[in-house]
Amino acid sequence: MMEQAFFLILAAFAVGAALSVIIQRSPIYSAFSLIGVMACLAATYIMLKAQFLGAVQLIVYAGAIMVLFVFVIMLLNVRKEENTLDKHRYLWLLALPFAATLIVEVLYTILKVTSDFTSLPEMAKRPIIGDSQSIGYGLFTSYLMPFELTSILILLAIVGSVILARREKE
């Protein structure tokens, strides 16, 4: 009961902050709202007993990626988004039915799928898996190949972003 109340509070905060991301005109406020969403999601991960990923969410997403966003926004000195939405009112007319379809579809599927979900008895006996030990074990046994490929991807991203953002010399 307590847990459900806590979840509802977190969910309300997350949805509110997510709405704020798309309603705010100024990108810097959007970025701060997105940090709020990520903090709520980190708390949700911890509720799901995925403590390690909760910490990684805060450190990597809220700590590193969003700092990069805020840094670029401030570097480029982005002013408020001009009021181009009036020019593109048809986009709202397009987006709202799209969103309604998407949400109804997804919620219908969720209700259909999860109605017979909790009836798997052998799941209750398995140990808890959210700690860093089980994640590290998985990463270095069955998922070793993706893990190593990820390091190559990161290397490519570093080189690529340096080349893209470099100022060309005449």
Partner 1 sequence: MVPLSWYLALSAVLFTIGAVGVFVKRNVISIFMCIELMLNAVNLTLIAFSSFYKEASGQLFVFIVMTVAAAEAGVGLALVIAVFRNRESLNTDDTNLLKL
Of 92, 116, 145, 169, the one binding partner 1 by CB under 8 A:
92
- Please report whether residue 169 would count as binding partner 1 according to CB under 8 A: no
Question: Do residues 16 and 33 make contact, with C-beta atoms less than 8 angstroms apart?
Answer: no
- Please report whether residue 143 would count as binding partner 1 according to CB under 8 A: yes
Binding mask 102-141 for partner 1 (x = CB under 8 A): xx--xx--xx--x--xx-x--x--xxxxx---xx-xxx--
Question: Do residues 18 and 41 make contact, with C-beta atoms less than 8 angstroms apart?
Answer: no
Of 43, 58, 74, 157, the one binding partner 1 by CB under 8 A:
157
- Please report whether residue 22 would count as binding partner 1 according to CB under 8 A: yes
- Please report whether residue 144 would count as binding partner 1 according to CB under 8 A: no
- Please report whether residue 73 would count as binding partner 1 according to CB under 8 A: yes
Q: Which is nearer to partner 1, 128 or 169 (CB)?
A: 128
Question: Do residues 17 and 44 make contact, with C-beta atoms less than 8 angstroms apart?
Answer: no
Nearest distance in Å: CB 3, partner 1: 6
**Cα-Cα-Cα-Cα dihedral of 44, 49, 55, 58, to 10°?**
-10
Q: Which contiguous run of DSSP H or E holds residue 15?
A: helix 2-23
- Please report whether residue 145 would count as binding partner 1 according to CB under 8 A: no
Which DSSP string do the residues of 99-160 spell out, in sequence order?
Answer: HHHHHHHHHHHHHHHHTTTS--GGGGGSPP--SHHHHHHHHHTTTHHHHHHHHHHHHHHHHH
Q: Which of residues 33-72 bind partner 1 (CB under 8 A)?
A: 34, 37-38, 41, 44-45, 47-50, 52-53, 56-57, 60-61, 64-65, 68-69, 72
